[in-house]
Amino acid sequence: MATEGPATRRVRVAEHPRLMKLKEMFNSKFGSIPKFYVRAPGRVNIIGEHIDYCGYSVLPMAVEQDMLIAVEPVETQTLQLANTNPLYPDFSTNANNIQIDKTKPLWHNYFLCGFKGIQEHFGLSNLTGMNCLVDGNIPPSSGLSSSSALVCCAGLVTVTVLGMNLSKVELAEICAKSERYIGTEGGGMDQSISFLAEEGTAKLIEFSPLRATDVKLPSGAVFVIANSCVEMNKAATSHFNIRVMECRLAAKLLAKYKGLQWDKILRLEEVQAKLGVSLEEMLGIVEDALHPSPYSPEEVCRCLGISLQELRTQVLSPNTQNVLIFKLYQRAKHVYSEAARVLQFKKICEEAPDNTVQLLGDLMNQSHVSCRDMYECSCPELDQLVDICRIQGLLWCSWSSWLTRYEPRSVVEPIPGTVRASTQIYTWTDAKIVCFHASRQTAGINITEK
Protein backbone atom coordinates (compact mmCIF):
# COMPACT_ATOMS: atom_id res chain seq x y z
CA MET A 1 0.00 0.00 0.00
CA ALA A 2 1.18 3.51 -0.82
CA THR A 3 0.40 4.66 2.75
CA GLU A 4 2.85 2.11 4.16
CA GLY A 5 6.60 2.43 4.34
CA PRO A 6 8.95 0.48 2.06
CA ALA A 7 9.14 -3.24 2.72
CA THR A 8 11.89 -4.81 4.80
CA ARG A 9 13.26 -8.23 3.89
CA ARG A 10 15.61 -10.34 5.97
CA VAL A 11 17.93 -12.42 3.82
CA ARG A 12 21.14 -14.36 4.23
CA VAL A 13 23.76 -12.33 2.43
CA ALA A 14 25.79 -15.45 1.66
CA GLU A 15 22.90 -16.75 -0.45
CA HIS A 16 22.97 -13.71 -2.73
CA PRO A 17 26.15 -13.39 -4.82
CA ARG A 18 25.71 -9.69 -5.53
CA LEU A 19 25.18 -8.84 -1.86
CA MET A 20 28.10 -11.04 -0.88
CA LYS A 21 30.40 -9.33 -3.35
CA LEU A 22 29.21 -5.91 -2.18
CA LYS A 23 29.82 -6.91 1.44
CA GLU A 24 33.37 -8.00 0.62
CA MET A 25 34.10 -4.78 -1.28
CA PHE A 26 32.65 -2.77 1.60
CA ASN A 27 34.93 -4.52 4.07
CA SER A 28 37.92 -3.89 1.82
CA LYS A 29 37.03 -0.20 1.49
CA PHE A 30 35.97 0.68 5.04
CA GLY A 31 37.40 -2.14 7.18
CA SER A 32 33.97 -3.12 8.51
CA ILE A 33 30.78 -4.80 7.35
CA PRO A 34 27.48 -3.14 6.31
CA LYS A 35 24.62 -2.98 8.79
CA PHE A 36 21.94 -3.09 6.07
CA TYR A 37 21.38 -2.77 2.32
CA VAL A 38 18.89 -0.65 0.38
CA ARG A 39 17.81 -0.99 -3.24
CA ALA A 40 15.82 1.16 -5.66
CA PRO A 41 14.84 0.02 -9.16
CA GLY A 42 15.15 1.90 -12.40
CA ARG A 43 12.13 2.32 -14.62
CA VAL A 44 10.89 2.33 -18.16
CA ASN A 45 8.08 4.70 -19.08
CA ILE A 46 5.65 2.78 -21.26
CA ILE A 47 3.79 5.88 -22.37
CA GLY A 48 3.51 9.46 -21.16
CA GLU A 49 6.83 11.01 -22.20
CA HIS A 50 7.70 14.42 -20.74
CA ILE A 51 4.26 15.20 -19.35
CA ASP A 52 4.68 14.52 -15.62
CA TYR A 53 6.18 17.97 -15.04
CA CYS A 54 3.20 19.40 -16.92
CA GLY A 55 0.86 17.83 -14.35
CA TYR A 56 -0.33 14.84 -16.40
CA SER A 57 -0.51 11.14 -15.62
CA VAL A 58 2.18 8.76 -16.84
CA LEU A 59 2.35 5.00 -17.15
CA PRO A 60 5.74 3.54 -16.13
CA MET A 61 6.86 0.25 -14.64
CA ALA A 62 9.94 -0.67 -12.64
CA VAL A 63 12.69 -2.81 -14.14
CA GLU A 64 15.02 -5.37 -12.59
CA GLN A 65 18.08 -3.16 -12.98
CA ASP A 66 18.61 -1.14 -9.82
CA MET A 67 20.77 0.85 -7.43
CA LEU A 68 21.98 -1.04 -4.38
CA ILE A 69 23.70 0.60 -1.41
CA ALA A 70 25.51 -1.08 1.49
CA VAL A 71 25.32 1.10 4.61
CA GLU A 72 27.06 1.43 7.96
CA PRO A 73 26.10 4.27 10.35
CA VAL A 74 29.13 5.75 12.13
CA GLU A 75 29.56 7.87 15.25
CA THR A 76 31.36 10.69 13.46
CA GLN A 77 29.64 13.33 11.33
CA THR A 78 31.48 12.25 8.18
CA LEU A 79 29.50 11.01 5.20
CA GLN A 80 31.74 8.73 3.13
CA LEU A 81 30.55 7.60 -0.30
CA ALA A 82 32.18 5.05 -2.57
CA ASN A 83 31.11 3.32 -5.77
CA THR A 84 31.89 -0.15 -7.10
CA ASN A 85 32.39 1.43 -10.52
CA PRO A 86 35.99 2.74 -10.67
CA LEU A 87 34.85 5.53 -13.01
CA TYR A 88 33.12 7.19 -10.04
CA PRO A 89 35.64 8.49 -7.45
CA ASP A 90 35.17 8.36 -3.68
CA PHE A 91 33.68 11.37 -1.93
CA SER A 92 33.40 12.50 1.67
CA THR A 93 31.83 15.50 3.37
CA ASN A 94 30.40 16.67 6.67
CA ALA A 95 26.87 15.33 7.05
CA ASN A 96 25.76 18.67 8.48
CA ASN A 97 27.20 20.84 5.73
CA ILE A 98 25.82 19.42 2.48
CA GLN A 99 26.75 21.48 -0.58
CA ILE A 100 25.44 20.49 -4.05
CA ASP A 101 27.09 22.09 -7.06
CA LYS A 102 24.47 22.44 -9.82
CA THR A 103 27.15 23.13 -12.40
CA LYS A 104 28.78 19.72 -11.87
CA PRO A 105 26.36 16.76 -12.01
CA LEU A 106 28.83 14.36 -10.39
CA TRP A 107 27.53 10.98 -9.25
CA HIS A 108 27.75 11.68 -5.53
CA ASN A 109 25.59 14.81 -5.87
CA TYR A 110 22.56 12.60 -6.55
CA PHE A 111 23.14 10.81 -3.25
CA LEU A 112 23.48 14.18 -1.55
CA CYS A 113 20.11 15.23 -3.03
CA GLY A 114 18.31 12.36 -1.31
CA PHE A 115 20.23 12.86 1.92
CA LYS A 116 19.57 16.60 2.03
CA GLY A 117 15.90 16.15 1.13
CA ILE A 118 15.29 13.99 4.21
CA GLN A 119 17.41 16.26 6.39
CA GLU A 120 15.42 19.34 5.41
CA HIS A 121 12.05 17.57 5.57
CA PHE A 122 12.58 16.81 9.27
CA GLY A 123 14.51 20.02 9.94
CA LEU A 124 17.41 18.08 11.41
CA SER A 125 20.87 19.20 12.48
CA ASN A 126 23.75 17.39 14.14
CA LEU A 127 23.26 14.31 11.96
CA THR A 128 25.42 11.23 12.34
CA GLY A 129 27.63 10.18 9.46
CA MET A 130 27.68 6.93 7.52
CA ASN A 131 29.78 4.80 5.19
CA CYS A 132 28.02 3.90 1.95
CA LEU A 133 29.09 1.74 -1.00
CA VAL A 134 26.93 2.12 -4.11
CA ASP A 135 26.50 -0.58 -6.75
CA GLY A 136 24.34 0.12 -9.80
CA ASN A 137 23.53 -1.96 -12.87
CA ILE A 138 21.25 0.58 -14.57
CA PRO A 139 23.02 1.88 -17.70
CA PRO A 140 23.81 5.55 -16.96
CA SER A 141 22.20 8.32 -19.01
CA SER A 142 20.16 5.74 -20.95
CA GLY A 143 16.62 6.81 -20.08
CA LEU A 144 16.08 4.19 -17.36
CA SER A 145 16.37 6.69 -14.51
CA SER A 146 19.62 5.68 -12.85
CA SER A 147 20.04 9.11 -11.28
CA SER A 148 16.57 9.17 -9.71
CA ALA A 149 17.03 5.61 -8.43
CA LEU A 150 20.18 6.80 -6.64
CA VAL A 151 18.32 9.79 -5.16
CA CYS A 152 15.55 7.47 -3.91
CA CYS A 153 18.03 4.96 -2.55
CA ALA A 154 19.86 7.73 -0.68
CA GLY A 155 16.63 9.08 0.76
CA LEU A 156 15.66 5.68 2.09
CA VAL A 157 19.17 5.09 3.44
CA THR A 158 18.95 8.36 5.36
CA VAL A 159 15.50 7.64 6.78
CA THR A 160 16.66 4.21 7.93
CA VAL A 161 19.84 5.50 9.60
CA LEU A 162 17.82 8.20 11.38
CA GLY A 163 15.19 5.69 12.53
CA MET A 164 12.40 7.76 10.98
CA ASN A 165 9.22 6.49 9.33
CA LEU A 166 7.74 7.77 6.08
CA SER A 167 5.20 6.31 3.69
CA LYS A 168 6.14 5.42 0.12
CA VAL A 169 4.17 8.42 -1.12
CA GLU A 170 5.92 10.77 1.29
CA LEU A 171 9.32 9.41 0.28
CA ALA A 172 8.50 9.75 -3.42
CA GLU A 173 7.38 13.36 -3.00
CA ILE A 174 10.44 14.30 -0.95
CA CYS A 175 12.86 12.66 -3.38
CA ALA A 176 11.15 14.25 -6.40
CA LYS A 177 11.54 17.66 -4.81
CA SER A 178 15.08 17.07 -3.60
CA GLU A 179 16.41 15.94 -6.99
CA ARG A 180 15.85 19.52 -8.12
CA TYR A 181 18.84 20.46 -5.96
CA ILE A 182 20.91 19.22 -8.89
CA GLY A 183 19.21 21.76 -11.18
CA THR A 184 16.71 19.67 -13.18
CA GLU A 185 13.03 20.66 -13.12
CA GLY A 186 11.57 17.15 -13.15
CA GLY A 187 8.00 16.19 -12.42
CA GLY A 188 8.16 13.19 -10.09
CA MET A 189 7.46 10.15 -12.27
CA ASP A 190 10.84 8.49 -11.73
CA GLN A 191 10.78 8.71 -7.95
CA SER A 192 7.12 7.71 -7.74
CA ILE A 193 7.45 4.47 -9.66
CA SER A 194 10.66 3.57 -7.81
CA PHE A 195 8.75 3.66 -4.51
CA LEU A 196 5.25 2.67 -5.63
CA ALA A 197 5.98 -0.14 -8.11
CA GLU A 198 4.54 -3.59 -7.47
CA GLU A 199 5.41 -6.86 -9.11
CA GLY A 200 2.93 -8.01 -11.72
CA THR A 201 1.57 -4.63 -12.80
CA ALA A 202 2.45 -1.34 -14.41
CA LYS A 203 1.21 1.82 -12.68
CA LEU A 204 -0.77 4.84 -13.75
CA ILE A 205 0.94 7.58 -11.75
CA GLU A 206 -1.19 10.66 -11.10
CA PHE A 207 -0.14 13.87 -9.38
CA SER A 208 -1.65 16.48 -7.04
CA PRO A 209 -2.19 14.40 -4.99
CA LEU A 210 0.29 11.65 -5.85
CA ARG A 211 -1.41 8.29 -6.33
CA ALA A 212 -0.79 5.07 -8.25
CA THR A 213 -3.31 2.76 -9.94
CA ASP A 214 -2.58 -0.76 -11.19
CA VAL A 215 -2.68 -1.22 -14.97
CA LYS A 216 -2.69 -4.87 -16.02
CA LEU A 217 -0.79 -5.29 -19.25
CA PRO A 218 -1.74 -7.91 -21.86
CA SER A 219 -0.53 -11.34 -20.78
CA GLY A 220 0.45 -12.39 -24.30
CA ALA A 221 3.17 -9.79 -24.68
CA VAL A 222 6.67 -9.15 -23.38
CA PHE A 223 8.69 -5.96 -23.10
CA VAL A 224 12.18 -5.69 -24.48
CA ILE A 225 14.08 -2.55 -23.49
CA ALA A 226 16.68 -1.48 -26.01
CA ASN A 227 19.48 0.99 -25.42
CA SER A 228 20.66 3.00 -28.42
CA CYS A 229 23.88 3.66 -26.43
CA VAL A 230 23.57 7.41 -27.01
CA GLU A 231 23.91 8.95 -23.56
CA MET A 232 22.12 12.06 -22.32
CA ASN A 233 22.76 13.37 -18.82
CA LYS A 234 19.81 15.68 -18.29
CA ALA A 235 21.57 17.58 -15.50
CA ALA A 236 24.70 18.20 -17.59
CA THR A 237 22.96 20.32 -20.25
CA SER A 238 20.03 22.72 -20.46
CA HIS A 239 18.10 20.55 -22.97
CA PHE A 240 15.76 19.05 -20.36
CA ASN A 241 15.02 22.32 -18.59
CA ILE A 242 14.44 24.11 -21.91
CA ARG A 243 11.53 21.72 -22.59
CA VAL A 244 10.16 22.34 -19.10
CA MET A 245 10.34 26.11 -19.60
CA GLU A 246 8.78 25.90 -23.08
CA CYS A 247 5.83 24.07 -21.55
CA ARG A 248 5.62 26.66 -18.78
CA LEU A 249 5.63 29.52 -21.27
CA ALA A 250 3.04 27.77 -23.43
CA ALA A 251 0.81 27.37 -20.38
CA LYS A 252 1.10 31.07 -19.56
CA LEU A 253 0.34 32.20 -23.12
CA LEU A 254 -2.64 29.85 -23.37
CA ALA A 255 -3.92 31.06 -20.00
CA LYS A 256 -3.67 34.70 -21.03
CA TYR A 257 -5.36 33.95 -24.37
CA LYS A 258 -8.32 32.47 -22.45
CA GLY A 259 -8.48 35.28 -19.90
CA LEU A 260 -7.07 33.34 -16.96
CA GLN A 261 -4.72 34.71 -14.30
CA TRP A 262 -1.68 33.62 -16.29
CA ASP A 263 1.00 34.72 -13.81
CA LYS A 264 -0.18 32.04 -11.36
CA ILE A 265 -0.08 29.27 -14.00
CA LEU A 266 2.95 26.99 -14.21
CA ARG A 267 1.72 23.81 -15.92
CA LEU A 268 -0.31 22.98 -19.00
CA GLU A 269 -2.63 20.76 -16.96
CA GLU A 270 -3.63 23.78 -14.86
CA VAL A 271 -4.92 25.54 -17.97
CA GLN A 272 -7.12 22.60 -18.89
CA ALA A 273 -8.38 22.19 -15.33
CA LYS A 274 -9.31 25.86 -14.98
CA LEU A 275 -11.07 25.89 -18.34
CA GLY A 276 -12.87 22.62 -17.62
CA VAL A 277 -12.44 21.32 -21.18
CA SER A 278 -11.23 18.03 -22.69
CA LEU A 279 -7.75 17.28 -23.96
CA GLU A 280 -9.10 17.29 -27.50
CA GLU A 281 -10.52 20.77 -26.92
CA MET A 282 -7.17 21.91 -25.55
CA LEU A 283 -5.52 20.83 -28.79
CA GLY A 284 -7.97 23.08 -30.63
CA ILE A 285 -7.14 25.98 -28.31
CA VAL A 286 -3.44 25.45 -29.03
CA GLU A 287 -4.16 25.77 -32.74
CA ASP A 288 -5.98 29.06 -32.17
CA ALA A 289 -3.66 30.61 -29.60
CA LEU A 290 -0.12 29.61 -30.60
CA HIS A 291 1.73 29.73 -33.89
CA PRO A 292 4.07 26.96 -35.16
CA SER A 293 7.04 29.25 -35.76
CA PRO A 294 9.40 29.66 -32.78
CA TYR A 295 8.89 32.47 -30.29
CA SER A 296 11.73 34.79 -29.38
CA PRO A 297 12.08 35.94 -25.75
CA GLU A 298 11.01 39.41 -26.91
CA GLU A 299 7.80 38.05 -28.45
CA VAL A 300 6.99 36.10 -25.30
CA CYS A 301 7.44 39.32 -23.33
CA ARG A 302 5.12 41.21 -25.66
CA CYS A 303 2.46 38.52 -25.38
CA LEU A 304 2.60 38.53 -21.58
CA GLY A 305 3.23 42.24 -21.14
CA ILE A 306 6.39 41.80 -19.11
CA SER A 307 10.00 42.92 -19.47
CA LEU A 308 12.86 40.70 -20.58
CA GLN A 309 14.34 41.00 -17.10
CA GLU A 310 11.08 39.80 -15.54
CA LEU A 311 10.97 36.85 -17.96
CA ARG A 312 14.48 35.78 -17.09
CA THR A 313 14.29 36.23 -13.33
CA GLN A 314 10.66 35.37 -12.57
CA VAL A 315 9.77 32.68 -15.12
CA LEU A 316 12.82 30.93 -16.58
CA SER A 317 15.23 28.64 -14.74
CA PRO A 318 18.83 29.85 -14.33
CA ASN A 319 20.21 27.66 -17.13
CA THR A 320 17.56 28.71 -19.66
CA GLN A 321 17.74 32.47 -19.27
CA ASN A 322 19.82 32.93 -22.42
CA VAL A 323 17.78 30.68 -24.71
CA LEU A 324 17.00 32.48 -27.99
CA ILE A 325 13.96 30.55 -29.28
CA PHE A 326 11.04 28.69 -27.70
CA LYS A 327 8.86 26.20 -29.60
CA LEU A 328 5.65 26.62 -27.65
CA TYR A 329 3.15 25.30 -30.20
CA GLN A 330 5.03 22.03 -30.72
CA ARG A 331 5.56 21.36 -27.02
CA ALA A 332 1.93 22.02 -26.09
CA LYS A 333 0.70 19.84 -28.97
CA HIS A 334 2.86 16.96 -27.74
CA VAL A 335 1.83 17.29 -24.10
CA TYR A 336 -1.93 17.38 -24.68
CA SER A 337 -1.88 14.60 -27.28
CA GLU A 338 0.43 12.42 -25.16
CA ALA A 339 -1.78 12.92 -22.10
CA ALA A 340 -4.71 11.67 -24.17
CA ARG A 341 -2.72 8.63 -25.33
CA VAL A 342 -1.98 7.67 -21.71
CA LEU A 343 -5.69 7.58 -20.90
CA GLN A 344 -6.44 5.64 -24.10
CA PHE A 345 -3.71 3.14 -23.23
CA LYS A 346 -5.18 2.52 -19.78
CA LYS A 347 -8.68 2.14 -21.22
CA ILE A 348 -7.56 -0.43 -23.77
CA CYS A 349 -5.78 -2.43 -21.08
CA GLU A 350 -8.95 -2.42 -18.96
CA GLU A 351 -11.28 -3.41 -21.81
CA ALA A 352 -8.82 -5.94 -23.29
CA PRO A 353 -10.24 -6.30 -26.82
CA ASP A 354 -8.94 -9.09 -29.07
CA ASN A 355 -6.56 -6.69 -30.82
CA THR A 356 -5.24 -5.14 -27.61
CA VAL A 357 -1.57 -5.48 -28.52
CA GLN A 358 -2.07 -3.89 -31.92
CA LEU A 359 -4.05 -0.99 -30.46
CA LEU A 360 -1.40 -0.37 -27.83
CA GLY A 361 1.20 -0.58 -30.56
CA ASP A 362 -0.55 2.12 -32.55
CA LEU A 363 -0.49 4.43 -29.52
CA MET A 364 3.19 3.76 -28.94
CA ASN A 365 4.01 4.51 -32.56
CA GLN A 366 2.13 7.80 -32.27
CA SER A 367 4.02 8.56 -29.06
CA HIS A 368 7.40 8.09 -30.69
CA VAL A 369 6.46 10.23 -33.70
CA SER A 370 5.33 13.00 -31.37
CA CYS A 371 8.51 12.73 -29.27
CA ARG A 372 10.57 12.90 -32.44
CA ASP A 373 8.74 15.65 -34.32
CA MET A 374 6.89 17.76 -31.74
CA TYR A 375 9.07 17.43 -28.65
CA GLU A 376 12.38 16.78 -30.39
CA CYS A 377 13.64 14.50 -27.62
CA SER A 378 14.75 11.68 -29.89
CA CYS A 379 18.01 11.38 -31.83
CA PRO A 380 19.03 9.91 -35.22
CA GLU A 381 20.47 6.75 -33.66
CA LEU A 382 17.26 6.06 -31.77
CA ASP A 383 15.08 6.78 -34.81
CA GLN A 384 17.22 4.36 -36.78
CA LEU A 385 16.89 1.72 -34.08
CA VAL A 386 13.11 2.15 -34.09
CA ASP A 387 13.02 1.65 -37.87
CA ILE A 388 15.18 -1.47 -37.64
CA CYS A 389 13.01 -3.00 -34.93
CA ARG A 390 9.83 -2.35 -36.87
CA ILE A 391 11.34 -4.03 -39.92
CA GLN A 392 12.12 -7.05 -37.76
CA GLY A 393 8.47 -7.34 -36.77
CA LEU A 394 8.19 -5.68 -33.38
CA LEU A 395 4.72 -4.27 -33.11
CA TRP A 396 5.46 -0.92 -31.60
CA CYS A 397 8.22 1.26 -30.34
CA SER A 398 8.52 4.00 -27.77
CA TRP A 399 11.31 6.28 -26.63
CA SER A 400 13.17 3.46 -24.88
CA SER A 401 11.04 0.31 -25.06
CA TRP A 402 9.57 -2.15 -27.53
CA LEU A 403 6.73 -4.63 -27.34
CA THR A 404 6.35 -7.93 -29.16
CA ARG A 405 4.22 -11.03 -28.74
CA TYR A 406 5.49 -13.38 -26.09
CA GLU A 407 7.41 -16.06 -27.95
CA PRO A 408 10.54 -16.47 -25.83
CA ARG A 409 12.67 -18.52 -28.22
CA SER A 410 11.32 -17.79 -31.68
CA VAL A 411 10.99 -14.00 -31.33
CA VAL A 412 12.62 -12.45 -28.28
CA GLU A 413 15.97 -14.24 -28.14
CA PRO A 414 16.97 -13.69 -31.80
CA ILE A 415 16.20 -9.97 -31.64
CA PRO A 416 19.60 -8.73 -30.37
CA GLY A 417 21.53 -10.61 -33.05
CA THR A 418 19.10 -9.55 -35.75
CA VAL A 419 19.36 -5.90 -34.77
CA ARG A 420 23.15 -6.09 -34.57
CA ALA A 421 23.20 -7.50 -38.08
CA SER A 422 20.95 -4.70 -39.23
CA THR A 423 23.14 -2.07 -37.61
CA GLN A 424 26.08 -3.21 -39.68
CA ILE A 425 24.12 -2.28 -42.78
CA TYR A 426 23.80 1.22 -41.37
CA THR A 427 27.56 1.26 -40.59
CA TRP A 428 27.16 1.91 -36.86
CA THR A 429 30.40 1.74 -34.90
CA ASP A 430 30.96 -0.90 -32.26
CA ALA A 431 30.47 1.78 -29.60
CA LYS A 432 26.88 2.17 -30.69
CA ILE A 433 26.02 -1.52 -30.86
CA VAL A 434 22.57 -2.12 -29.46
CA CYS A 435 22.26 -3.61 -25.97
CA PHE A 436 19.02 -5.33 -24.99
CA HIS A 437 17.94 -5.64 -21.37
CA ALA A 438 15.05 -8.05 -20.97
CA SER A 439 12.99 -6.91 -17.99
CA ARG A 440 9.88 -7.71 -16.04
CA GLN A 441 7.78 -5.65 -13.68
CA THR A 442 9.31 -5.62 -10.22
CA ALA A 443 8.56 -4.36 -6.74
CA GLY A 444 9.73 -0.96 -5.57
CA ILE A 445 12.30 -0.10 -2.95
CA ASN A 446 13.00 -2.53 -0.15
CA ILE A 447 15.48 -2.69 2.70
CA THR A 448 17.61 -5.80 2.97
CA GLU A 449 19.19 -6.40 6.35
CA LYS A 450 22.22 -8.59 6.81
Active site residues: 190
Angle of helix 279-289 versus helix 268-275 axis, rounded to 10: 110
Instruction: Give me the sheet containing 221-227, strands edge to edge.
Output: 396-397, 401-405, 221-227, 435-438
Cα 275 from Cα 282, distance rounded (Å): 9
Nearest to 225 by CA among 427, 372, 369, 434: 434
Q: Taking the alpha carbons of 420, 425, 431, 432 in that order, is the dihedral positive or negative? A: negative
Cα 389 from Cα 409, distance rounded (Å): 17
